[in-house]
Structure 1
Amino acid sequence: MSIIDTDRRAPREAADDPVLDNPAWSALTGAHAHLAEGGDLARRYPADVSPFAAVRTWDDPGVWDAIVDLVGHGAEFPAPPESVVLPPGWVRGDVFQGAQLVETGRLHGRPDDEAVVLGAADVPAMLDLVARAQPGPFLPRTYLLGRYVGIRRDGQLVAMAGERLAPAGWTEISAVATDERHRGQGLASRLVLDVVHHAHERGARAMMHASAGNTNAIRLYERLGFRLRPGSLTFGTVRTPVSG
């Protein structure tokens, strides 16, 4: 049976896809391999594309040296689960709780006639909107990760959304931002559904990440047809040893 049924329903088993346990690694070794820096154990995006990095597995004893080779000494890297014991000299940084959402059969994407595709020429406007709306990390070349769309009013970009991580079979929707003066008009929802539509057209399912404390955003995404994926999700960093 196809993973995605013809009515676009995502079976409950889809949320159990192990790819979702390590989505950045799947993207960095798959759809975004051409952007990846690193090797067989640890990879990251270029600094002006995304702060995301990942390892193939924390069980390989060589992973620690691979991370140092990749980011250097005294540098930050996404933290392993708290159950993983750090080698001497490694230090855990701050952590915060996150949420991962996956599509359900209630999610029906649709193209938006007002949405315009954004690219390199739109980066200044995208960065300006992100600075004002604070949806999360967005850098000068983040637009290379996927399809980004926006809505303009009087020539100004007032809302945007796009694709970030691309784990196998999935598209992560990210950079959902609306100018404060244009909120309450449903622009963010319209752009999310536009991105979902084009992801479905490619045969991918939609997923998202959010801060667990951002309950307003989570409720919005649940109303659109996403649901929380079971299990806890912790975002944090570790700092590599300051010297070898």
Structure 2
Amino acid sequence: MVNREAVVLDDPVGESLRGHHAHLARRFGRAAGYLPDVATFCAVSADPDPAEWADLARLLGPGELADMFSCPAAPPPDWKPVFTLEGRQMTWASGRSAPPRPETGAEVLELGPDSVPEMLSLVERTRPGPFRPRTPELGTYLGIRDNGRLVAMAGERLRPPGWTEISAVCTAPEARGRGHAARLIEALVARVVERGERPFLHVAEANTGAIALYERLGFTSRGRVTFRGFRTP
């Protein structure tokens, strides 16, 4: 019997583009990707042939970044490697209840379109990963303010069936050590679980501090992944 969980989490970009995020996708032939101002990720099938790689090259254009996320398929030899990053995929345990909402602490706020300039500024300072002007359209983004200034945020990114990825977890340097990241993650987990889905996330393997935090909050490692990017010919 096919393990549906394994299928959708092995290709979270493709599953999201075919489903919940289809309205944010661009396509050519059998290749797909997010709109450029939404996200950098693109997807091909599990065993792409040369024609499918040609479709992706046409979709992206010459000399453009093909951010393949965790796709294991190797592109043609004339696609130049841009980056390789070892990472880990972590999931919230099936049947685990959502964390209780804390009664005290910094107020968690939902961030709307008017907060995008501040979100982009915080991302520029903290570098949590790819983030574009329309990335907040992928899902709900929550933040914490200090004297009116956005100092921490986290949000929803990929949405394969039955799952929601928590991403863009970042805190301004001057606001670290106050538990903001944990508070935001717990708030997002509660939202995801309450709507009948399971949270998951990705983290760089070298980021041992973040891995320890996610484990403490209730996430477990599902497996190692390799994030790769290439330049189209």
Does 1:185 pair with 2:175?
A: no
- TM-score by length of structure 1 reads 0.85
Mapped partners of 1:109, 1:40: distance in 2: 43
CA distance in 2, matches of 1:77, 1:229: 25
Q: What are the equivalent positions in structure 2 for 1:64-79 lying under 5 Å apart?
A: 64-79=53-68
Amino-acid identity (%): 45
- Report how many aligned residue pairs link the two structures: 227
Tell me the equivalent position of 1:226.
219
Change in 2 beyond 3 A, CA 1:57/1:131: same
Unpaired stretches in structure 1, ≥5 consecutive residues: 1-12
Q: CA deviation at 1:71?
A: 0.6
Q: Choose the corresponding residue for 1:138, options 127, 131, 136.
A: 131
| 1:100 match: secondary structure | strand
Q: 2:196 aligns with which of 193, 203, 208?
A: 203
2:80 alignment partner AA: V
Deviates more, 1:79-88 or 1:232-241: 79-88
Which whole-Å deviations, capped at 9, do the CAs of 1:153-192 have from their partners, x for residues lacking one?
1111111111011111110001111122221111110110
For residues 149 and 229 of structure 1, the distance between their equivalents in structure 2, rounded to whole angstroms, comes to 25
Show CA shifts across 1:74-107 (max 9, x none): 2221359897454353333331111111112666
Looking at structure 2, the residues matched to 62 and 95 of structure 1 have their Cα atoms a distance apart, in angstroms, of 24
Q: Which amino acid aligns with 1:235?
A: F
Does 1:122 pair with 2:122?
A: no
Cα-Cα RMSD = 2.3
SS at 2:24's partner residue?
coil
Query: Unpaired segments of 5 or more residues in structure 2?
Result: none
Q: 1:98 & 1:81 partners in 2: Cα distance?
A: 9
Separation in 1, partners of 2:87, 2:192: 23
The residue aligned with 1:38 is 27
Question: Does residue 229 of structure 2 align to residue 237 of structure 1?
Answer: yes
Tell me whether 1:48 sits opposite 2:40 in the alignment. no
Does the alignment pair 1:194 with 2:184? no
Classify 1:44/1:188 alpha carbon distance in 2 versus 1 (closer, same or farther; 3 Å): same
